[in-house]
Structure 1
């Protein structure tokens, strides 16, 4: 497991001591530094790098939201985790713009430890020419399509606009869909159950949270590389959905197939932005990971549900999947133009592939 430098920030001394004590078992691998105020944390960040920032939100003088906003500008490569019991709506909306993960306080002790282990996994994997953790953590939100972002803004400015139109827009864009799912699956939002369906996610979000989905467009040269990736993975998502529907799969399996196809774009998009011109080079040599692994690690930092992470991470090696539904896994795998005969035969689906490849992609336009 890779070494991490972790900065814990809270204005309550007892909580800091408790967090330090909880992480002490990892002291041979992780260096933990504490700060009792947002201002002190900023002073530390100004002079030394950290891999992870874990901060409370409601601190006097210099809030956790201000600290994360500053760190996004000056330390964008750092993973930002909120650990707070504060429930102020405006503050939570502010934190949503900057944090990778939301954990409530008090929470089960193992949740923070598990989140940090996942960060360590990202750092561990990136053993190529580039350090993968800053690449993945620094991404923040995947850039959305300029056209889709413009339409979302127009929807939010029009009180008479129908919500179904917005749901359709988000379901077509990997960046917007990932952000919506991150928000509704966060501990602060408190969903009744984990969701992988971007359509459902938009239904659960309020107007202010929906406004947080929109971000500025990528630079024109970057957008030229991202557009075909978004389009390709939207086609994969739609064909995977058509396959799941043709097989009579229940709604959760259909949702997983669609989301898996759409959000498997995360890795290719991140790698395309990280080092232009490496598209034809070996991904593992350059980045220490292949695109599906990068997708999984990015979505892991966002706190998305385990079956979705399992599916996107094993897209090229489906036999290694353990949590994703086999039909959803097969649907995305085949829709992506892959055919692992051993996996498909083991799942009893190999004979179905020729029929699947004749299907018309399905629209994600109904609940």
Structure 2
């Protein structure tokens, strides 16, 4: 089935340039170009698009308003904002409805990469209901006590950047939200940001405070206190897994980029579990009760139609995280299934799953998974210092 994409921009010259640039892909994608957001809304009332790319600054109805309507009408649609670097206020307003941000003038390679990735995401998560759930996420749940401590600290005029960065780094959800924004092409950074500390330094304390206190990029978990404890344990488990994956990569002599990717992927590895816990609390409790009698992955698939690794990888792909991080989250338990078979972030995240503490969702005292022996032998990891 052909993928569909809608471009909306009141600048007719820009739309015509996009049409010329993408003419060679008409056999692969069905592309519609609309120069009025009101016309786009009328069209969206009658049909669904896989991807909607909208300019931010348009009269009567701006990009943030348009994408909010797209979210309401078609929650599974990938939503992208086109915006200029100077429009920081636009970023604040679009941070909820937009999955990704592209800077203007638009890089043709960025559009092509976006289309290719949105198509691949369907292969990661086949269930339409879970895809809609992932695409409709505006925020991820954070432990209530951490959220309250963070907002209280931000209200203190004497607080410094390091303190805020350390608090955000305690939580995988907050870190993911911040990395989603800072790694967008809106900022046109020469390299990927992989830690909360880097993100806070890049944005600046004032901008982070505005994003948290006014744009609402973080959210306090509101569910049952017992589930809040599980969420806190999951977040701590993710932080520990990220640090262990980074340590194992360093012990194996991996370069700085791979170590950073391993840390980021390890920390994000359980993010799908946070979403399932938040969206399906009753089913999640039932699943945990059964987890001790079988592999966690099988129990999750039976309960939700997919594992939290699949859901987490889909979300990170939707948010524009780099491919090595997405692959490491998706194949963390079964690295042999990944087409890319070189040593990388996936190798060290898998080893961290094997060697690290038991998941809060699984049986006590057991690792998350068994070592993929064929994979380890094929890459020579079975003789590496990091697995001894």
Q: Same fold (TM over 0.5)?
A: yes
Q: Does 2:216 correspond to 1:217?
A: no
Out of 347, 354, 360, the residue aligned to residue 379 of structure 2 is 347
Quick one: distance in 2 between partners of 1:351 and 1:61?
63
Q: In 2 relative to 1, CA 39–286 (structure 1 residues): closer, same or farther, beyond 3 Å?
A: farther
Q: Does 2:79 correspond to 1:44?
A: no
Give deviations 1:252-301, integer Å, cap 9, x for gaps.
Answer: 44332221111112222334445452646555577665433332221122
Please list every run of 5 or more consecutive structure 1 residues that lacks an aligned counterpart in the other structure: 357-367
Out of 235, 240, 246, the residue aligned to residue 245 of structure 2 is 240
Work out whether residues 104 and 188 of structure 1, in 8 Å CA contact, stay in contact via their aligned partners in 2: yes
Match of 1:7 in 2: 6
Partner SS for 1:11: coil
Matches within 5 A, 1:140-289: 140-211=138-209, 212-213=211-212, 214-221=217-224, 223=228, 226-246=231-251, 251-276=256-281, 277=283, 279=287, 283=300, 289=306
Quick one: distance in 2 between partners of 1:123 and 1:166?
36
Match of 1:294 in 2: 311
Match of 2:95 in 1: 96
- Report which stretch shifted further, 65-74 or 175-184: 65-74
Match of 1:311 in 2: 328
Q: CA deviation at 1:251?
A: 4.4
Partner SS for 2:140: coil
Work out whether residues 122 and 132 of structure 1, in 8 Å CA contact, stay in contact via their aligned partners in 2: no
Q: CA deviation at 1:237?
A: 2.0
- Report which stretch shifted further, 241-250 or 101-110: 241-250
Q: In 2 relative to 1, CA 345–318 (structure 1 residues): closer, same or farther, beyond 3 Å?
A: same
Give deviations 1:113-137, integer Å, cap 9, x for gaps.
Answer: 2212222222344434x44431221
Please list every run of 5 or more consecutive structure 2 residues that lacks an aligned counterpart in the other structure: 291-297, 355-368
Match of 1:361 in 2: none
Match of 1:360 in 2: none
Match of 2:115 in 1: 116
Work out whether residues 7 and 50 of structure 1, in 8 Å CA contact, stay in contact via their aligned partners in 2: yes
Partner SS for 2:191: coil
Work out whether residues 334 and 353 of structure 1, in 8 Å CA contact, stay in contact via their aligned partners in 2: no
TM-score, L = length of structure 2: 0.78
Q: In 2 relative to 1, CA 199–163 (structure 1 residues): closer, same or farther, beyond 3 Å?
A: same
Quick one: distance in 1 between partners of 2:2 and 2:221?
32
Work out whether residues 5 and 52 of structure 1, in 8 Å CA contact, stay in contact via their aligned partners in 2: yes
Cα RMSD for the two superposed structures = 3.2
Partner SS for 2:219: coil
Quick one: distance in 1 between partners of 2:145 and 2:9?
41
